[in-house]
Structure 1
Amino acid sequence: MKLLKRILKFVFALIGVLVLIGIIIFWVDSLETSYLRINKNDLTSNNSFIIANVNIVPMNQDTVLVDKMVHIKEGIIEKIADNIEVKGIEIIDAKNKYLTPGLIDMHVHVWDRYELGLYLSNGVTAVRNLWGMPMHLRIKEDVIEDNIFSPVFFTTGPKLTGQEFIGDDNLNLTNPNEAKEKVISYKKRGYDLIKTYYGLDKEIFDAVIEQAKISEIDIVAHPSQKVPFSYHLNPQIKSIEHAEEIVQQPLQFDLDTTKLQPIIDSISQSKHTSYSPTITVFNNIYQMMINDSILDSESLEFINPLIKKVDSKNQFERWFNTKRANPAALDRIKNQHNFHISIVKKLHNSGVNIICGTDAGIGVTVPGFSIHREMSFYKQAGLSNYEVLKTATVNASKTHSIMKQLGTIEAGKIANLLLVDENPFIELATLENPTYVFVKGRKLNRETLKSYNEKAKNRKNLLASALRYLENLIFEK
């Protein structure tokens, strides 16, 4: 009995030490990202002002409103006119630059708060996180409470799969009742959306869809191979992810445009369905195959260290070794990427609501920076600059009712804005380096945005990231 008591004391003491170490690690990590905290007494917290001498790219129409004034009141666009007079308010001279809506990345995986700064520095003022964990609810709360500079933050719950084990990062559902309980729980806890994933069979999928409708929560679908592709056109499913899934599932890797067209037609006939192609993340397979030093590249200095050490490394080894074992695989991946461009073109020509998503945060797809590459692929697909910009602004905002205050510049919308040097309808690349980013009306200048990049570069938060992931495995399984 005495021995048992000693063992229990030791175990409890060890647990106490580990908990204390964890608290210290989280505290240090919190201090390292304190630069994102909003100081309500600082000038940058001012979210009421007038922007004068500005050319507006409203994105609710294909035009530029020349030499206008915009009144921002407490983070909301109050008025747009030729002349606005408000006493005792700051006036920002835009010097005939261009004001656009902030960009929206509709498919990201956020691993830490450093990434929030990376998105802002690249003009991304709203993100849809599609791999929900407890840490994302804490980020969301801080964003809602205006405690931190961050893109507006929407997140799904954990990825829902069926009984087949796909990985420890997914929630394996065993029966319809459990599926319904998870949907109810995620809505109650504050997750914005439901993410369905590869491996959901019809019976469980039906339960998820049924409960999501009752709970009034939208579904985002990574297509499941256990139901027909057309199954994902259910009205409760607001967007389908990845052009590659069209190739892998209904086309069975047959890159045939004739067989593709009926699939595109079915998507276009489903007026409620948006499509997020995520061209960049698949193209990065090709980049890993041709660049044996990609893990040491400068861009990967912005990847979360845990992801870089595990996921980036594993993906690189998988694809680089695939090419080594079968050199023909390189052309196969390149051809499939080109076919994805064709898919985007056909989706666009058929009137499908294309939304810009990057799958940033996994592999070698870098948060923030990748959205500009994604948009360049849409440009290659034949979309005009206006049409490309729509995918990352107004198209995205139409996908979910909870996003309706974003995406355009008009009275009543949230003042998530970019001030850029050139007309993006002529020079899309101007979006890569905004002079100012306004997030909920708060102004961030270029110097501050660059500092966000520097803070995130080669960050040392591997242990904190690992503990947050461990928290997810313990509490979400």
Structure 2
Amino acid sequence: MNKSLFVFFLLICISLTQGFSQSFLINNVHILSMENDQIQLNQSIEVENGKIIQIMPMSQSPKFKGNRVIDGGGFYIYPGLAEFHSHIPVSQNGNTELQEEAMWLYLANGVLRVRGMIGHASHLQLKARIDAGELDGPRLFLSGPSFSGSSVSSPEQAVQMVRDEKAAGYDHLKLHPGLEMDEFLAIAKTAKELGIPFGGHVSLAVGLKASLENGYKSVEHMDGYVEALIPDYSKVLDQAVAGPFTMLLVKEADRSRLPELVDLTLKTGAWMAPTLTLFDRYFGYKPAEEYRNIPEMKYMSAAQVQSWINAKTPYEERGVLTKENVQPYLDFRNELFMILHEAGVPILMTSDSPQVFNVPGFSIHHEIELMSEAGMSNYEILKTGSVNPAKYFGKEGQWGIIKVGASADFVLVKNNPLKDLTTLKEPFMVVMKGKVYDQKELKMQLEKIEQNHKR
């Protein structure tokens, strides 16, 4: 079938059958289950009540009693992507529009699982609405309000903050810089007692080694590794000398120390959230103004885009973000990323959106490009957004994979993603907990968001 005719047929087929039944059958698809790196050709998938109940070859003439059959047109199905370092918008005086827009931006880009890393009470309400089926969106895993030098005043207060966040129903704790060692140790001890994972930035007074040894579940931005390699730590403590994320000292890093840090990372079981795109865009040498009108910025308000430009411009004005300063730092981050990955440290798909020039959903595709450029294989990249997030929260086999019994969370794309990562940018269909979103619906939601922020 001609591809354009197939797309038209697919949209008509879905729209006519939407809502008729909680069960449906998708025929004529090739499946990348993520149980391994093999493609299952010419398959059918049956979904009922949000679960995958049957996968079988087309040659077996699948029996289906329902009335909703979708022709997959020979396209490919995979379990979708993740954004496991997100800053979910906060509702403003009960206005949840920006939150709801972010959820659609994720879905429209095939991002089906999101870990929020700066918490707010309105996020718990958002998650409850999605879980109840009242609102469309990906799976949410929420960190509470962050622990930092400004929010933590003593070990005792930090302990109570951990207890309060656990009781409120957050899934994770986020640590920011500025914590003293006694405060950090109190947070770590209490979090382990209560069984809530924690991670984030590495405070300078704590250091990478103590963070790992005391239970960091995830190291955000691969934070703390450069600092741990600098022989003269007094330079690290001087931000004027070190620059953002110790960028200006990377040439002084003693790489002979790196194997010990990698071994410690493996020994302690820490995960890595690299956010390569954050550093490429926020701390890269491309001028801030050049990002103002890139295509995905039309989904952000003019005020938001301007605030991102304002965040980067001071570094440019101080002469920090020259190519001479930036390129060695980005090269080191790519090198570190691949050393950790090849050593077996598990990686999470993360882009830090919406953060400086990283638009929800769209920024994940830029992250994917950077992971590929660094040397990671397509299959391993896809793992960081599917099976790895499930493992992170102890949900292996429940989602992030295409198998009988798993949640029906998957995305239909034109080409084989093991050979073509760009195909991930154009989902033809998204299925989230068994609910079908066709390309027409996804585009309509994107158009609404664009109109909301018309310049």
In the alignment, the residues of structure 2 paired with residue 134 and residue 403 of structure 1 have an alpha-carbon distance, to the nearest angstrom, of 28
Q: Which moved more, 1:427-436 or 1:71-80?
A: 71-80
Which of 352, 377, 384 is the equivalent residue of 2:377? Answer: 384
Residue of structure 2 equivalent to 1:29? none
How far apart are 1:219 and its partner, in Å?
0.9
- 1:264 and 2:286 aligned: no
Residue of structure 2 equivalent to 1:23? none
Which of 459, 464, 468 is the equivalent residue of 2:452? Answer: 459
Which of 434, 441, 445 is the equivalent residue of 2:434? Answer: 441
Which of 11, 25, 28 is the equivalent residue of 1:53? Answer: 28
Q: With structure 1 as the length reference, what TM-score do the two structures score?
A: 0.80
In the alignment, the residues of structure 2 paired with residue 286 and residue 205 of structure 1 have an alpha-carbon distance, to the nearest angstrom, of 28
Q: With structure 2 as the length reference, what TM-score do the two structures score?
A: 0.84
The answer on whether the counterparts of 1:196 and 1:222 sit within 8 Å (CA) in structure 2 is yes
In the alignment, the residues of structure 1 paired with residue 19 and residue 267 of structure 2 have an alpha-carbon distance, to the nearest angstrom, of 46
In the alignment, the residues of structure 1 paired with residue 353 and residue 397 of structure 2 have an alpha-carbon distance, to the nearest angstrom, of 23
How far apart are 1:285 and its partner, in Å?
2.7
- Cα 1:70–1:183 change in 2 (3 A) is same
In the alignment, the residues of structure 1 paired with residue 109 and residue 20 of structure 2 have an alpha-carbon distance, to the nearest angstrom, of 20
Residue of structure 1 equivalent to 2:250? 254
How far apart are 1:458 and its partner, in Å?
6.0
How far apart are 1:143 and its partner, in Å?
0.9
The answer on whether the counterparts of 1:45 and 1:442 sit within 8 Å (CA) in structure 2 is no
- 1:125 and 2:118 aligned: no
- Cα 1:460–1:435 change in 2 (3 A) is closer
- Cα 1:367–1:46 change in 2 (3 A) is farther
How far apart are 1:46 and its partner, in Å?
5.0
How far apart are 1:88 and its partner, in Å?
2.3
Q: Which moved more, 1:225-234 or 1:341-350?
A: 225-234
The answer on whether the counterparts of 1:105 and 1:124 sit within 8 Å (CA) in structure 2 is yes
- 1:192 and 2:162 aligned: no
In the alignment, the residues of structure 1 paired with residue 257 and residue 20 of structure 2 have an alpha-carbon distance, to the nearest angstrom, of 54
What is the correspondence of 1:128-277 to structure 2 with a 5 Å cutoff? Answer: 128-162=115-149, 165=150, 172-234=151-213, 236-243=215-222, 245-251=224-230, 253-255=249-251, 256=253, 257-270=255-268, 272-277=269-274
How far apart are 1:89 and its partner, in Å?
4.1
Residue of structure 2 equivalent to 1:373? 366
- Cα 1:269–1:46 change in 2 (3 A) is farther
The answer on whether the counterparts of 1:49 and 1:90 sit within 8 Å (CA) in structure 2 is yes
How far apart are 1:400 and its partner, in Å?
1.4
* Long gaps (5+) in structure 1: 1-40, 166-171, 462-477
The answer on whether the counterparts of 1:292 and 1:320 sit within 8 Å (CA) in structure 2 is no
- Cα 1:452–1:261 change in 2 (3 A) is farther
- 1:356 and 2:356 aligned: no
- 1:411 and 2:388 aligned: no
How far apart are 1:114 and its partner, in Å?
0.5
In the alignment, the residues of structure 2 paired with residue 181 and residue 236 of structure 1 have an alpha-carbon distance, to the nearest angstrom, of 19
In the alignment, the residues of structure 2 paired with residue 392 and residue 318 of structure 1 have an alpha-carbon distance, to the nearest angstrom, of 33
In the alignment, the residues of structure 1 paired with residue 157 and residue 384 of structure 2 have an alpha-carbon distance, to the nearest angstrom, of 35
In the alignment, the residues of structure 2 paired with residue 314 and residue 456 of structure 1 have an alpha-carbon distance, to the nearest angstrom, of 23
How far apart are 1:145 and its partner, in Å?
0.5
Give the counterpart letter for 1:344 in structure 2. Answer: F
- Cα 1:335–1:244 change in 2 (3 A) is farther
How far apart are 1:276 and its partner, in Å?
0.7
Give the counterpart letter for 1:60 in structure 2. Answer: E
In the alignment, the residues of structure 1 paired with residue 213 and residue 101 of structure 2 have an alpha-carbon distance, to the nearest angstrom, of 36
- Cα 1:274–1:46 change in 2 (3 A) is farther
How far apart are 1:47 and its partner, in Å?
4.2
Q: Which moved more, 1:329-338 or 1:423-432?
A: 329-338
* RMSD of Structure 2 on Structure 1 (CA): 2.4
- 3-state secondary structure, aligned to 1:366: coil
Give the counterpart letter for 1:294 in structure 2. Answer: Y
In the alignment, the residues of structure 2 paired with residue 78 and residue 455 of structure 1 have an alpha-carbon distance, to the nearest angstrom, of 35
How far apart are 1:236 and its partner, in Å?
4.1
- Cα 1:371–1:299 change in 2 (3 A) is same
The answer on whether the counterparts of 1:47 and 1:440 sit within 8 Å (CA) in structure 2 is no
How far apart are 1:258 and its partner, in Å?
3.3
In the alignment, the residues of structure 1 paired with residue 397 and residue 375 of structure 2 have an alpha-carbon distance, to the nearest angstrom, of 27
- Cα 1:439–1:304 change in 2 (3 A) is farther
Which of 47, 59, 73 is the equivalent residue of 1:95? Answer: 73
How far apart are 1:201 and its partner, in Å?
1.6
In the alignment, the residues of structure 1 paired with residue 430 and residue 124 of structure 2 have an alpha-carbon distance, to the nearest angstrom, of 24
- 1:317 and 2:313 aligned: yes
In the alignment, the residues of structure 2 paired with residue 106 and residue 265 of structure 1 have an alpha-carbon distance, to the nearest angstrom, of 24
- Cα 1:70–1:44 change in 2 (3 A) is same
Which of 280, 296, 317 is the equivalent residue of 2:277? Answer: 280
In the alignment, the residues of structure 2 paired with residue 123 and residue 129 of structure 1 have an alpha-carbon distance, to the nearest angstrom, of 17
- 1:43 and 2:56 aligned: no
- 3-state secondary structure, aligned to 1:128: strand
Q: Which moved more, 1:77-86 or 1:51-60?
A: 77-86
- 3-state secondary structure, aligned to 2:279: helix
- 3-state secondary structure, aligned to 1:254: helix
Q: Which moved more, 1:242-251 or 1:312-321?
A: 242-251
- 3-state secondary structure, aligned to 1:386: helix
Q: Which moved more, 1:53-62 or 1:256-265?
A: 256-265
In the alignment, the residues of structure 2 paired with residue 408 and residue 348 of structure 1 have an alpha-carbon distance, to the nearest angstrom, of 21
